[in-house]
């Protein structure tokens, strides 16, 4: 047994570049050429493979770190006798498809490093290629979202949507272009900063949603007076201390109950042209989390089968994982419907953008005490602002208003969630 450091080899012009994926864990057995990390420059991304077999005993990089040649990625324990580990050991037999390997010097050790460059020949299934051809799209220009840049049908759709938006924008922003003839710095001092990676990634989903989905937002208010009395009275049975459960856990529960009555809200339309929609039988509620890196939307899986305490615990866990960039990528996909709550920050109504490919999103504002006219007199009630945006292709305004009524019922004084703490 011997210990060995695996370092970043010579990677041409990639210097001080960001780690965007860590593909291995502590304790994991790895083989020579297994991908360890993915790094990304402005133009392309690169997977760094292992130069040896062994078991990972320490992980020296995390997502967001900047690395250059010679930086230690991991330490491994090898069963073999120690051999000199160097970039020169990297072999040419990388099984993964090479997409482009310019930027790598001839005879250099990094020949088998995969450089993904979108101008190179795309990797895609014959079905996806046919689909792109039918839409008149050059598949080699489509950025692939799968590992090693493989292009999926959704990537092609997103590419088309983004292009249509761009040409629409080009046609409609002539005036703005004239204004942009001036540089920002013509008017004073400015700083140029990198747009955070999470924001860059989410922008394509936001544009896709905004340009493809005809959004409508219904606003309403739920009377959560009794819910708030109940929530703030909760104490831990063992310690007697107040339980720290925010209204959001109750809203998740009320939402899943509403989704069960209104299955249209738990659907996705992948292709309106083929006349099909997917009705989900699961209830995975997405929750928008504000992180220093940008907005992320992890899913609370099977929220219908979980009690309020468990939902609250999981909510804290997944939001922290997002903030630490430790969330599994898969946990950001596969949702039923999303809740975006600004209740802890402030504000009442807003117009949330649907988290594509879902068909609805619930915006929640800050609950406030208000004077409400009930049975001929004003009474003080705690009112929660709701902003429900929906895809008008599938959901009609009347159905949305009924959905809000159901939601208000589930958050209201006959709250069934009481049984579910």
Q: Which of 215, 219, 293, 392 is catalytic?
A: 392
Contact pick of 32, 204, 219, 366 for ligand CAO (by CB under 6 A): 366
- Closest CB 338 distance from ligand CAO, rounded Å: 9
- Closest CB 405 distance from ligand CAO, rounded Å: 19
Closest CA to 217 of 94, 69, 361: 361
In the complex with ligand CAO, the residue whose CB is nearer, 290 or 409, is: 290
- Closest CB 193 distance from ligand CAO, rounded Å: 20
Residue nearest ligand CAO, Cβ-based: 343
**Which regions of 224-298 does DSSP assign to beta strands (E)?**
267-268, 278-279, 285-287, 289-291, 294-296
Contact pick of 290, 304, 399, 409 for ligand CAO (by CB under 6 A): 290
In the complex with ligand CAO, the residue whose CB is nearer, 111 or 290, is: 290
- If one asks whether residue 367 binds ligand CAO (CB under 6 A), the answer comes out as yes
How far apart CA 389 and CA 3 sit, in angstroms, is 55
Return the structure tokens found at 353: 């953008």
- If one asks whether residue 252 binds ligand CAO (CB under 6 A), the answer comes out as no
Q: Which residues contact 63 (CB under 8 A, 6 or more apart)?
A: 19, 20, 21, 22, 325
Enumerate residues 295-334 that contact ligand CAO by CB under 6 A. 295, 315, 319
- If one asks whether residue 362 binds ligand CAO (CB under 6 A), the answer comes out as no
Q: SS3 for 273?
A: helix
3-state secondary structure string, 357-372? Answer: CCCEEEEECCCEEEEE
Stretch of residues binding ligand CAO (CB under 6 A), selected from 81-89, 95-103, 104-112, 286-294? 286-294
Closest CA to 334 of 290, 278, 411: 278
How far apart CA 361 and CA 339 sit, in angstroms, is 6
What's 280's DSSP letter? P
**Total of chain residues touching ligand CAO, rule CB under 6 A:** 21
- If one asks whether residue 246 binds ligand CAO (CB under 6 A), the answer comes out as yes
Closest CA to 395 of 262, 234, 202: 262
- If one asks whether residue 344 binds ligand CAO (CB under 6 A), the answer comes out as yes
Stretch of residues binding ligand CAO (CB under 6 A), selected from 39-47, 130-138, 202-210, 359-367? 359-367
Contact pick of 54, 247, 286, 357 for ligand CAO (by CB under 6 A): 247
Stretch of residues binding ligand CAO (CB under 6 A), selected from 24-32, 109-117, 245-253, 391-399? 245-253
Name the one residue in this structure whose structure tokens are 């209740």. 343
- If one asks whether residue 342 binds ligand CAO (CB under 6 A), the answer comes out as yes
In the complex with ligand CAO, the residue whose CB is nearer, 112 or 387, is: 387
Enumerate residues 375-414 that contact ligand CAO by CB under 6 A. 384
Q: How many CB atoms lie within 10 A of CB 22?
A: 18
Return the structure tokens found at 25: 């864990």
Q: What are phi and psi of 223, to 5 degrees?
A: -85, 105
Q: SS3 for 181?
A: coil
Q: How many CB atoms lie within 10 A of CB 88?
A: 13
Dihedral, 91, 94, 100, 103 alpha carbons, nearest 10 = -30
How far apart CA 411 and CA 146 sit, in angstroms, is 40
Contact pick of 9, 298, 343, 357 for ligand CAO (by CB under 6 A): 343
Task: Look up 219 and say whether it is catalytic.
Answer: no
Q: SS3 for 130?
A: helix
In the complex with ligand CAO, the residue whose CB is nearer, 9 or 363, is: 363
- If one asks whether residue 101 binds ligand CAO (CB under 6 A), the answer comes out as no
- If one asks whether residue 341 binds ligand CAO (CB under 6 A), the answer comes out as yes
Stretch of residues binding ligand CAO (CB under 6 A), selected from 81-89, 151-159, 276-284, 339-347? 339-347
How far apart CA 84 and CA 99 sit, in angstroms, is 29
Contact pick of 6, 76, 99, 289 for ligand CAO (by CB under 6 A): 289
Residues annotated as catalytic (active site), given as ranges = 392
Contact residues toward ligand CAO (CB under 6 A) are 244, 246-248, 287-290, 295, 315, 319, 340-344, 352, 364, 366-367, 384
């Amino acid at each position: 047994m011997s210990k060995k450091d695996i370092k970043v080899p010579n990677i041409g012009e990639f210097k001080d570049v960001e780690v965007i994926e860590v593909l291995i864990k502590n304790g994991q057995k790895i083989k020579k050429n297994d991908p360890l990390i993915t790094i990304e420059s402005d133009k392309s991304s690169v997977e760094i493979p292992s130069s040896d077999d062994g078991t990972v005993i320490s992980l020296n990089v995390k997502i967001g770190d900047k690395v250059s040649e010679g930086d230690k990625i991991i330490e491994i324990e090898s069963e073999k006798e120690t051999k000199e580990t160097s970039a020169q050991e990297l072999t040419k037999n990388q099984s993964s498809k090479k997409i482009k390997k310019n930027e790598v010097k001839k005879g250099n050790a990094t020949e088998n490093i995969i450089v993904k460059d979108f101008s190179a020949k795309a990797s895609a299934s014959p079905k996806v290629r046919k689909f792109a051809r039918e839409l008149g799209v050059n598949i080699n220009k489509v950025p692939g979202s799968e590992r090693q840049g493989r292009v999926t049908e959704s990537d092609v759709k997103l590419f088309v949507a983004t292009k249509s938006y761009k040409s629409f924008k080009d046609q409609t922003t002539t005036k703005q272009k004239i204004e942009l003839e001036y540089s920002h710095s013509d008017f004073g001092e400015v700083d140029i900063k990198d747009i955070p990676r999470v924001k860059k990634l989410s922008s394509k989903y936001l544009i896709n949603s905004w340009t493809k989905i005809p959004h409508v937002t219904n606003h309403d208010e739920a009377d959560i007076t009794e819910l708030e009395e109940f929530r703030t009275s909760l104490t831990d049975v063992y310690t007697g201390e107040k339980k720290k459960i925010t209204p959001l856990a109750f809203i998740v529960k009320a939402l899943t109950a509403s989704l069960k009555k209104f299955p249209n809200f738990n659907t996705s339309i992948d292709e309106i042209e083929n006349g099909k929609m997917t009705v989900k039988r699961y209830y995975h509620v997405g929750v928008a989390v504000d992180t220093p890196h940008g907005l992320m939307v992890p899913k609370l899986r099977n929220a219908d089968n979980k009690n309020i305490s468990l939902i609250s615990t999981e909510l804290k866990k997944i939001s922290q994982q997002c903030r630490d960039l430790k969330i599994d990528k898969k946990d950001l996909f596969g949702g039923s419907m999303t809740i975006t709550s600004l209740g802890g920050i402030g504000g009442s109504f807003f117009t949330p953008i649907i988290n594509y490919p879902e068909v609805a999103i619930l915006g929640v504002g800050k609950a406030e005490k208000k004077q409400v006219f009930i049975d001929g007199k004003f009474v003080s009630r705690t009112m929660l602002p709701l902003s429900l945006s929906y895809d008008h292709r599938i959901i009609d305004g009347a159905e949305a208003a009924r959905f809000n009524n159901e939601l208000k019922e589930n958050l209201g004084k006959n709250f069934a969630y009481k049984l579910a703490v």
